[in-house]
Structure 1
Amino acid sequence: MGAGKKMKHAAETAKGKAKEATGKATGNESLTLKGKAEQVKGDSMQAGQKAKDAFKH
């Protein structure tokens, strides 16, 4: 996986975790759900890149 893409996907996951925590702390269910969605998106992009890398080697 390229370092730039890896950092981008990790940042997406971290941003989602922060949104989820903020949503939980403020009682904002919408923000909590958006945070969870961003985490899933970041995790799935990381998994996709790892699969691509596995086929390259």
Structure 2
Amino acid sequence: MSGIDKLKNKAQELSGEGKERVGEATGDRDLQAEGANDKAAGNLKQAGEKVKDVFK
């Protein structure tokens, strides 16, 4: 996994977590859902990169 990809995925995950928390605090369910989706996408991308690393 390249370092840049790893950082991008982690940034997406952290951004999603932030959105999710702000959504919870403000009662904005749309923002909360968007954050959860971003966080899940970041996690999924990281898992995919790890699988690619195993097969190198």
TM-score (norm 1): 0.97
1:52 and 2:52 matched: yes
Q: CA deviation at 1:36?
A: 0.2
Secondary structure of the residue aligned to 1:52 is helix
Matched-pair identity in %: 39
Aligned-partner Cα distance in 1 for 2:2–2:54: 13
Q: 1:37 corresponds to which residue?
A: 37
After the TM superposition, list the runs of 4 or more consecutive aligned residues in structure 1 that deviate by more than 6 angstroms: none
Q: Does 1:9 align with 2:9?
A: yes
Report the Cα offset of residue 26 of structure 1.
0.3
Which letter does structure 2 place at the counterpart of 1:15?
S
1:27 shift after superposition: 0.3
User: Any unmatched runs of 5+ in structure 1?
Assistant: none
Q: Return the letter of the residue paired with 1:8.
A: K
- Give the deviation of 1:5 after TM superposition: 0.1
Q: Deviations over 1:10-38 (max 9, x none)?
A: 00000000000000000000000000000
1:19 corresponding residue in structure 2:
19
